[in-house]
A = this chain, B = another copy of it.
Amino acid sequence: MSEQRRRRGPERAAHRGPSAIPQLPTRRVRNPYPQMALLSADQVEAIHLASMHILENFGIEVMNARALALFERAGAKVDHATMNVRVDRGMVEEALKTTRAAYTLTPRNPANTIHLGGDTINFTLVAGPANVHDMERGRRAGNLRDYQDLVRLAQHFNCIHMLGNQVCAPIELPANSRHLDTYFANLTLTDKCFHVSAIGRGRALDGIEMMAIARGLSLEEMAASPGVTTIISVNSPRRFDEMMAEGLMTMAEHGQSVAVTPFTLMGAMSPVTLAGALAQQNAEALFGVVLTQLVRPGAPVMYGAFTSNVDMKSGAPAFGTPENTKANVASGQLARRYNLPYRTTPGSASNAADAQGAYETMMALWGAVLGHGNLVYHAAGWQEGGLTASLEKFIIDVEMIQHIMEFLRPIAVDEAELAVEALGRVPTGGHFFGEPHTLERYATAFYQPMLSNWQNYEAWREAGSLDATARATRLWKKALEEYVEPAMDADVREALEAYMARRREAIGQGEP
C-alpha cells in the first residue's frame, strides 16, 4: 500500500464494516480485585529496610554534576571523586511527601488520556528493539517504514493505550536526529500518549516540545497537564549515567512523567536471590524518585520494576519466568508501600511468535495484573528478550491483553443475569439456543477474539491448517488496511515540521 493511500485514511473509515477485525472498544481498564500479596507485611518491611541500608551505606553513583549538586544541597553525602551519593531514609520520606499516588497523561486527543495510579491498567507498545520481524519478510534492522506500520497498529487497536519509546530504531536516519522523525510519526500517525527518549536533555526536550505543539499548549501549560513520559533505566547495580540523569531532570523540570526502572537481572546485575534483587531495585527506584522531587516537588513519577533472571548456564537474560512473574507481583506491593503508580512488564525470550512466546508473556502478564501494574510496558510486540519487534507477536499480545481486559470485568449477579426463569423453562437435557433470555443477549454476551480459531478440525484443515502465528500475519496486514490516520490540523502539522527543521539545523551545528 502506498504512503499516499494511507494518508487518505480518514476517508476510509466507512470501509470498516462487519468484516472488520473485531476488537474491544476504547476503555479505561480497571482492576477491581485486591492486589495479590506474595510478600507478608513483614517481608515488605525487611526489603524496605535493606534498601534503606543500601542507600545510606553504599550509595548510588550519579555521573552528572548537576544532579550531584542537587543532592549535596539537599543534605546527601556526596563524594565528588567517585560520584557516590548516599541519601538517608529521611530524604526518601521527604521526597515521598510530594509524589503523587495518581496522575494523568493527556495526548493530542483527550479521549486517549491515560490514568496512572489506583486501579487503572494501561498497556503499551514494545519499545527499544533493534530489529523487526514478520513471517513474510523475516528479520531486518529497524527502519522508518516498519516504525510507521508498528505505530499504526498501536493506533488501530484500542487496548494499546500508549506507545513505548521507539518501537524500533530507524537506523537509516541520522542517529542524532532520528528521534524527531519518530516523535513526528507518533504524533501524526497516532493520537495516543507516547514515551520520549530521555537519553540526554535534547531528546527529552524535543519530545516535550513536540507534544506541546500538537496539543496547542505552552511548555508551562503542559507542565500542569503532563502529556509524555519516559523510562529512566538505571544502570544497575547502583549507577545513574550522565545522559539518563540529565533526561530524568529535564522531564521533572518540565513536569513530565518519569518511571524510574532499575533493570535488575538476578544473577547478573543483581543478587541471584529474589529478595536481594528486590532490595536493590527498591533502593535504585527510590533514589530516582528522590531526584525527581529535588528537581521539582510534585513532578509525576512512577515506581518502575523490571526484575527477571538470567539463564545461569549461559548468562542469557530470561523473561516470563516464574521468578520474573513473582517479581512483577511483589514489586507492586513495594510500589503501593510508597503510594506510587507502578510500571511493570511482561516479556519473553522466545525467538519466535510461538507457544513459548505466548506462555512466557502470559505468565509475566498475569504477574503484572495481579501486582496491580498501572503501566504494563512492552505489552505488545516484544520478542527475543526485547531485541526484536514482531508483528505477529504484536497480534498475539493484543489478543492476550484483551483476554485479560475481559477477565477483569466484574461478574454481574442480579435477577436477569441469574436467569432462573429460563432455567425453569428449558427442559432437562435440552438446550438454551432458542431461549428468549439467550436471544436477547447472545450477540454481545461473550468476548469475541480476533485470533483464536474455534472451528472444528475438519473445517480448520480445509481452511489451510493455519496456526495462530500464520493467522496473525493475516491480521496485522488487515489491520494496516483498516487503519485510519487520525486527523491533524494543517497548521499543527506545519508547526511540527518547522520545529523539526529548526532542530535538525541546530543539531547539525552541534547543539545537543
A residues near B (Cβ < 8 Å) are 33-34, 36-39, 43, 46-47, 50, 53-54, 57-58, 60-61, 84, 139, 235, 237-239, 266-276, 279-280, 309-312, 314-318, 321-323, 325-326, 330, 349-360, 362-363, 366-367, 384, 387-388, 396, 399-400, 403-407, 409-414, 416-420, 422-424, 426-433, 435, 437-438, 441-443, 445-447, 449, 451-457, 460-461, 465, 467-469, 472
User: Do A43 and B355 touch across chains, with their CB atoms under 8 A apart?
Assistant: no
Give 17 CB contacts A-B under 8 Å.
A43-B413, A58-B423, A237-B429, A267-B433, A267-B446, A274-B417, A275-B412, A280-B423, A309-B446, A312-B442, A349-B452, A350-B452, A351-B460, A354-B467, A354-B468, A355-B467, A359-B400
Apart from A272-B442, A321-B403, A351-B457, what are 16 other A-B pairs with CB-CB below 8 Å? A34-B37, A238-B429, A267-B446, A271-B437, A273-B441, A279-B418, A314-B455, A318-B446, A352-B465, A354-B469, A355-B472, A356-B452, A356-B468, A357-B468, A359-B359, A359-B396
User: Do A276 and B422 touch across chains, with their CB atoms under 8 A apart?
Assistant: yes
How far apart are the CA atoms of A422 and B275 in the complex, in Å? 12
> Residues of B contacting A403 with CB < 8 Å?
321-322, 325, 359, 363
> Residues of B contacting A50 with CB < 8 Å?
418, 420, 423
User: Do B454 and A318 touch across chains, with their CB atoms under 8 A apart?
Assistant: yes
User: Do A413 and B351 touch across chains, with their CB atoms under 8 A apart?
Assistant: no
In the complex where A53-B420, A351-B460, A428-B84 touch, is A453 in contact with B356 (Cβ < 8 A)?
Answer: yes
A241 to B: closest C-beta gap in Å? 8
User: Do B268 and A323 touch across chains, with their CB atoms under 8 A apart?
Assistant: no
In the complex where A314-B454, A358-B362 touch, is A424 in contact with B269 (Cβ < 8 A)?
Answer: no
A496 to B: closest C-beta gap in Å? 36
CB-based nearest B residue for A57: B424
User: Do A419 and B312 touch across chains, with their CB atoms under 8 A apart?
Assistant: no
> Residues of B contacting A404 with CB < 8 Å?
322
A245 to B: closest C-beta gap in Å? 13
A31 to B: closest C-beta gap in Å? 11
> Residues of B contacting A359 with CB < 8 Å?
358-359, 362, 396, 399-400, 403
How far apart are the CA atoms of A125 and B123 in the complex, in Å? 35
User: Do A457 and B139 touch across chains, with their CB atoms under 8 A apart?
Assistant: yes
How far apart are the CA atoms of A501 and B323 in the complex, in Å? 52
CB-based nearest B residue for A472: B355
How far apart are the CA atoms of A50 and B267 in the complex, in Å? 54
> Residues of B contacting A387 with CB < 8 Å?
457
How far apart are the CA atoms of A405 and B456 in the complex, in Å? 32
CB-based nearest B residue for A388: B457
> Residues of B contacting A322 with CB < 8 Å?
403-407, 409, 447
A238 to B: closest C-beta gap in Å? 4
A77 to B: closest C-beta gap in Å? 15
> Residues of B contacting A426 with CB < 8 Å?
237
- The listed residue (B37, B309, B353, B446) touching A321 by CB distance below 8 A is B446
User: Do A411 and B275 touch across chains, with their CB atoms under 8 A apart?
Assistant: yes
User: Do A311 and B454 touch across chains, with their CB atoms under 8 A apart?
Assistant: yes
How far apart are the CA atoms of A49 and B84 in the complex, in Å? 65
How far apart are the CA atoms of A281 and B317 in the complex, in Å? 45
A283 to B: closest C-beta gap in Å? 8
> Residues of B contacting A437 with CB < 8 Å?
271-273, 276
User: Do B267 and A467 touch across chains, with their CB atoms under 8 A apart?
Assistant: no
The 10 closest A-B pairs by CB, nearest first: A276-B419, A322-B406, A271-B419, A61-B428, A275-B417, A354-B467, A358-B358, A356-B468, A355-B358, A355-B468
> Residues of B contacting A317 with CB < 8 Å?
454
> Residues of B contacting A325 with CB < 8 Å?
403, 407
In the complex where A360-B452, A432-B271, A446-B266 touch, is A457 in contact with B384 (Cβ < 8 A)?
Answer: yes
> Residues of B contacting A435 with CB < 8 Å?
271
> Residues of B contacting A84 with CB < 8 Å?
428
How far apart are the CA atoms of A310 and B445 in the complex, in Å? 10
> Residues of B contacting A427 with CB < 8 Å?
237
> Residues of B contacting A318 with CB < 8 Å?
446, 452, 454
A181 to B: closest C-beta gap in Å? 26
In the complex where A356-B452, A456-B316, A468-B352 touch, is A38 in contact with B411 (Cβ < 8 A)?
Answer: yes
How far apart are the CA atoms of A61 and B426 in the complex, in Å? 13
CB-based nearest B residue for A58: B424
In the complex where A312-B446, A362-B362, A428-B237 touch, is A451 in contact with B271 (Cβ < 8 A)?
Answer: no
Of listed A237, A357, A418, residue having the most chain B CB within 10 A = A418
User: Do B468 and A267 touch across chains, with their CB atoms under 8 A apart?
Assistant: no
